[in-house]
Each structure stands twice: as C-alpha cells, then as structure tokens.
C-alpha cells in the first residue's frame, strides 16, 4: 500500500486583536510585528512554503486591510483570505468558516505568532511525514517546557510512547506545550459548534477517542505573544546556541 500524500494546504490564524502585544499592536496587527527584521507571518509562510504547502488560507479581522496589503506581494504559497471582519470567530469557528476554501483533505493549522529555531532538520517536514490520517484526527507539534521561550503557563499535555496526547491532570506541570502548529483531518470538525468557539473543544473530543497525537519539536520554540516575549525571542535569535556553565 502507498501512503497518502501529505497535506498541501494550510490555515494561518491571523485575526486576533493582539491585545497582549500592545502598544506594538496599536497601529499594526500582531502578524506584522517584526522578529529578526521580518514580520511574524512571513516567518510562518516561508516555513510552510519550504515544507511543500501550496495554498494558505489566512483569516483576518483586526486591521485586516494591512494584512491583506502586505500579503498581496507574496507569490508562494498562494494566499487566500477568510474574512472575519464582521465577527471574530476564535480558533475553532475560524477554521469552520474557512473549510470551504481549504478543500476536502487534511490541512495544517498554524498560529501566526509561533516560531522556532530548528534542531536537526525541519520540524514541519517531520510533522507532515508523521501524519497518519487513518489513526489520527489531529497531530500536534508539541514543545518541551524546558525548550520554550515566551511561554509562562503550566503546560498542556502528557504524551505516551506512541505519541498519543492526554491533558495534564492534578497540580503537576504538564511536560509538553502546544507549539501552535497541527495537522487536522476534516472529520475533526464533524458535529462542531456554530459561531465562535475554541479548537480546544474539538481536541478534547479527539482525546476521548484516542485520536489526538503529538510530535516533539526539535529545537527551541518561541511563543511571541507579548513585547517581553518578543524581546526574549530577538535575543535568542541573536545567540541561539549560547549556554551557561554556571
């Protein structure tokens, strides 16, 4: 039997208000905030293109015209917009709204503020190669807490030896955090709520079915959600291999 071809389309979440990134987002949307001299969304799109993604659907809401104008200059990957100007639909509702533009097959979902320094090889290539549509409703890239920049939470998931994810329970910190990138099969959205809702609702259903899987990110993950996190990411990009002997 031959393996099914990997996904070639993606959905990029770019509609948020960027409130935690203020005052930088008073006049520009967060996806256009620069990291290392390049807007965050271009870091994402360049990486998706390098991994073989041909079409990207980008949702827009806050300062949507600026994102559309900026991305009009791109030729690879092909950009299609999902307009949420009238109502912000959150992560899950945003994907539902964009499904007709994404086609019938599995696709990548990528946050516009999630970037990383690669370890050995491409994490997106590894994610696409690991994807198994028969066993998985969703496959997430997950980062170890110890190799994360700009994240101040308690973690998201535990992962068993087969890569199956479950939520952390009890007072302990979870060893893995969602790195803002996943592959989703359209069946993940069967019976989904209408309107605005979080993808977490669908991931929890996939956990109940034993069909939410994770792949460990190799490298340093950076969640660029605040001005402080942006500054920390800039410093990490400048000296990514610096270690301390103390």
Q: Could you report the per-residue pLDDT of 178-200, keeping only the tens digit for each?
A: 999 999 999 999 999 999 999 99
Cα–Cα dist 58/68, whole Å: 9
pLDDT at 207: 97
Phi first, then psi, for residue 30 (nearest 5°) are -55, -40
- CATH architecture of the domain 9-140+180-212 equals Alpha-Beta Complex (3.90)
Tokens encoding 15? 């509609």
pLDDT at 70: 97
Give the relative orientation of helices 200-208 and 90-102 as an angle to the nearest 10 degrees: 80
pLDDT at 1: 53
pLDDT at 108: 98
Residues of the chain above pLDDT 90, percent: 73
* Mean pLDDT in residue range 219-246: 76
> What digits encode the pLDDT tens for the residues 81-115?
999 999 999 999 999 999 999 988 999 999 998 88
Is residue 246 over pLDDT 50? Answer: no
How would residue 58 be classed by pLDDT, with cut points 50, 70 and 90? very high
How would residue 60 be classed by pLDDT, with cut points 50, 70 and 90? very high
> What digits encode the pLDDT tens for the residues 6-44?
899 999 999 999 988 999 999 999 999 999 999 999 999
- Taken as a whole, the chain contains a residue count of 246
Tell me the chain's radius of gyration from C-alpha atoms.
17
Tokens encoding 8? 């070639």
- Domain range list for the chain: 9-140+180-212
């Amino acid at each position: 039997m031959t393996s099914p071809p990997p996904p070639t389309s993606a959905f990029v979440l770019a509609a948020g208000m960027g409130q935690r990134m203020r005052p930088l987002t008073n006049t520009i949307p967060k996806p256009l905030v620069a990291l290392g001299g390049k807007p965050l969304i271009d870091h994402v799109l360049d990486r998706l293109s390098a991994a073989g993604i041909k079409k990207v659907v980008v949702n827009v809401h806050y300062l949507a015209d600026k994102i559309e104008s900026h991305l009009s200059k791109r030729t690879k990957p092909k950009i299609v917009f999902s307009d949420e100007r009238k109502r912000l639909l959150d992560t899950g509702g945003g994907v539902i709204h964009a499904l007709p533009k994404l086609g019938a097959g599995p696709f990548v979902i990528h946050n516009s503020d999630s970037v990383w320094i690669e370890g050995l090889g491409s994490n997106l290539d590894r994610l696409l190669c690991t994807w198994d549509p028969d066993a998985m409703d969703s496959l997430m890239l997950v980062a170890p807490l110890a190799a994360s920049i700009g994240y101040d939470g308690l973690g998201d998931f535990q992962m068993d030896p087969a890569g199956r994810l479950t939520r952390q329970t009890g007072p302990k910190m979870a060893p893995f955090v969602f790195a803002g990138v996943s592959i989703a099969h359209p069946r993940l959205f069967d019976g989904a709520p209408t309107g605005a809702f979080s993808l977490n609702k669908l991931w929890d259903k996939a956990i109940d079915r034993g069909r939410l899987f994770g792949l460990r990110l190799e490298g340093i993950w950076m969640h660029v959600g605040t001005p402080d996190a942006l500054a920390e990411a800039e410093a990490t990009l400048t000296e990514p291999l610096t270690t301390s002997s103390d």
